[in-house]
Amino acid sequence: MEGKAAGARGAAAVAAATVGGDLAPGTAAEPPISETTASVAAAAGSGAAGGATVPKPGAPNYRWAVVALFFLALIWGYAWVVMKIALDYAEPFTFAAMRTFFGAVALFMVMPLLRRPVRPKAIRLTALLGVMQTTGFVGLLTLALVNGGAGKTSILTYTMPFWLLLMAWVFLAERLRGFQWVAVGLALCGMILLLTPWRFEGGWSGVMAVGGALFWAGSAIVAKILRKRHEVDLFSMTAWQMLLGSLLLIVFAAIAWSGPPVWTGTFIAALVYVVILGNTVAWLLWLYILHALPAGTAGLGTLLTPVIGIVAAWIQLGERPTLSEGLGMIAIVSALLLTVLWEIMSARKRRAVAYQGLDPGETPSGSPSGSST
């Protein structure tokens, strides 16, 4: 059972890296980033997931977790449309600063209720995480939404897991294996079809969305390093990195200031949505999901997020994808699906090895995995 718990902790931990949060201490059995990108497309994980007993399908907790996962995908997917609408009433840096600063405040308000530690740890790495995850990622995706479609921006942002695989290969010496190469190739093809560099339609919007994905992936690498060096709490880490990252966005908003937001009912509703629903409520749902479901299943469910973003933008904003964009979106979603399936198969293999008490490099017969005998 310890092997099973360790595998869940590892997958959840990489998920946490995507928002700059982190978990309870990692373990020696924690798998590398290149084997745990299923939940990377989501937002965060919880240390509770590592020690939880996952209910069997059909159990009440399991069913409620599936419902929660569906609502979480709806919240995050529709948030792309909400952000696009909000930018009609506020400058991009102003809106990005407001949503992250107030989002951090909301998390600080929730922490005492959950009995989470407020005092920050590893402040330098946390600040770097804030620059990568909040300033870079949120800032660039918000700029991308100014002139880019909500659906197209969401799917380009979700190329993050594939940049993470490549970064882990370069910086952490974690080799890509099997389907991971196919997934990266599919994602690259999809990205080219969406960006259409031969026509460069949409200006720099698509480039900024991909830049945001790169910052998002880089933050996961920073979180991986931080987790190895320090014992940190998910809520505390996330709140602090978000707060510190928002301070730079406030500076950028002041430099680019051209006027205050237009405080209409629509803008206020959009701000409340991204701060309360898209941040605080979404975090609570995600913690519950990772406590009740395997991390691979949770990652599979989050594939709905960019799909919902595309469909919602099509219905509400009239963003009908071109043939090239449609093919690109299908390629990236397919690549995400391959990545999740690879994680699920890898997790099953790790559990089987753990149950049999074998070293990862051995087969059940005791021969090395690369042996022909």
Decide: helix, strand or coil at residue 90.
coil
Q: What is the DSSP string of 57-76?
A: TTSHHHHHHHHHHHHHHHHH
Q: Per-residue pLDDT for 344 more than 50?
A: yes
CA 251, CA 241: separation in Å to the nearest integer? Answer: 16
Q: What is the pLDDT of residues 116-144, one digit of tens each?
A: 888 888 899 999 999 999 999 999 999 99
Asked if the model's pLDDT at residue 154 lies above 50, the reply is yes
Other beta carbons less than 10 A from residue 103's beta carbon:
24
pLDDT, tens only, 202-232: 568 888 998 999 998 898 888 888 878 888 8
Q: Is 341 helix (H, G, I), strand (E, B) or coil?
A: helix
Does 350 map to a domain? yes
38 pLDDT above the threshold of 70: no
Q: Is 244 exposed, middle or buried (0-12, 13-18, 19+ CB in 10 A)?
A: buried
| Closest among 134, 99, 178, 98 to 21, alpha carbons compared | 134
Q: What residues have CB less than 8 Å from 255, skipping those under 6 apart?
A: none
Are residues 147 and 206 in contact, defined by beta-carbon separation less than 8 angstroms? no
Based on the structure, what is the number of domains in the chain? 1
> What percent of the chain is modeled with pLDDT above 70?
74
Residue 280 domain-assigned?
Answer: yes
Q: What is the pLDDT of residue 27?
A: 29
Q: What is the mean pLDDT of residues 44-67?
A: 51
Q: What is the mean pLDDT of residues 298-318?
A: 82
* pLDDT at residue 253, rounded to an integer: 96
Report if residue 217 sits inside a domain.
yes
Instruction: Establish if 239 belongs to a structural domain.
Output: yes
In this predicted structure, the answer to whether residue 183 has a pLDDT above a threshold of 50 is yes
pLDDT category, 87, cuts 50, 70, 90? very high
Alpha-carbon distance of 207 to 159, in angstroms, equals 12
Residue at 220 is within a domain: yes
Residue closest to 227 by CA, chosen among 7, 3, 5, 33: 33
Question: How far is residue 135's CA from residue 128's CA, in Å, rounded to a whole number?
Answer: 10
Domain that holds residue 303: 2-356
Mean pLDDT of 35-51: 37
**Mean predicted lDDT score pLDDT of the chain:** 76
Tell me if 370 is assigned to some domain: no
SS3 of residue 368 by DSSP: strand
How high is the pLDDT of residue 141? 93
For residue 66, being part of any structural domain is answered with yes
pLDDT at res. 33: 46
Highest mean pLDDT among 53-57, 101-105, 328-332: 101-105
What does the pLDDT read at residue 269?
96
What is the band of 54 on the pLDDT scale with cuts at 50, 70, 90? very low
Is 369 domain-assigned? no
